[in-house]
Amino acid sequence: MSYSIALAGKGGTGKTTMAGMLVKYLVEKGRTPVLAVDADANANLNEVLGLKVGETLGDAREQMKTGVSSGMTKDVFMEMKLQQAVIEADGFDLIVMGRPEGAGCYCAANTLLTHSLEKLIENYASIVMDNEAGMEHMSRLTTNNVDVLLVVSDPTRRGLQAASRIVELATRLSLNIGRKMVMVNRFREEQAKALKEALAEYHLDIVGTVPEDADLQKFDLEGRPTIELGKENRAVEAACRIFDSIL
């Protein structure tokens, strides 16, 4: 049975970077195969993981809307496209949801896609889903049936407020989520007092903090896959301690 972790949070908190670190952590812990799902409309998990994207599931939705080849049912077509969209790597695979490009209803395509994804997920020991920024994915119920919802915040009031709202919304929608957790990224020691006050204000408990790190920023600026950062990196060390507590 797959163990699934969905990441959420306000834009700019480093959510996708944390998703990449989590994928690497799971591979190193032997919880393979891992399926990384980029469910962010602004897809860039592949850059963190050092992979190139060909087809996305958004492409499949578009093609299904315009018509499927004669002799092929829509569900067979969607399953075929899903397999074609899987990007294989060492110990993990990546699939990019992509976003719809045209106008109109995607309900039928989304339903078929959901069913196909459910079948695909059965083949993996671990699932890491990087969701889009904000709470849209929550209200659309795309973050459902997961073991852990890991909300990534930065040490700002707006970030923590967004994290609080995401946790609150997940509870209000009665989503099938095992545990809801909050972590703080890009933390500096001089922010400790203000962070403690903000956490109390928004009634949040956190599983840990990841320090602001110059090497991580340099990798990001140079467009290098952050998955290549070594275990000795202090941000990676801190993130792995958090993942230890989650798993």
CATH of the domain at 193: 3.40.50.300
Give the confidence band of 111 by pLDDT, cuts at 50, 70, 90. low
Query: Of the candidates 223, 246, 208, which has an alpha carbon nearest to the alpha carbon of residue 17?
Result: 223
Q: Per-residue pLDDT tens for 41-98? A: 778 899 999 999 888 877 877 777 777 776 778 778 878 888 888 999 999 999 888 7
Q: What is the per-residue pLDDT across 188-228, written as a single tens digit (0 to 9) for each?
A: 999 999 999 999 999 999 999 999 999 999 998 898 999 99
pLDDT (0 to 100) of residue 85: 87
176, 174, 163, 236: CA torsion to nearest 10 = -10
Question: Averaged over 13-18, what is the pLDDT?
Answer: 94
Residue type (1 letter), 147 = D
Look at residues 64, 162, 169 and name the one whose alpha carbon lies nearest to residue 106: 64
More confident position, 119 or 116: 119
Q: CA angle, corner 82, sides to 77 and 86, nearest 5?
A: 150
Report the b/e string of 113-143 with b at 16+ CB within 10 A. beebbeebeeebebbbbbbbbebebbeeebb
pLDDT score recorded for residue 3: 92
- Check: CB of residue 129 under 8 Å from CB of residue 80: no
Residues 6 or more apart whose Cβ sits within 8 Å of residue 197: none
What per-residue confidence (pLDDT) applies to 94? 95
So what's the pLDDT on residue 42? 75
Q: Give how many domains the chain has, as a whole number.
A: 1
Q: Tell me whether the omega of the peptide bond preceding residue 33 falls within 30 degrees of 0, making it cis.
A: yes
Task: Report yes or no on whether pTM surpasses 0.85.
Answer: yes
Domain that holds residue 100: 3-246
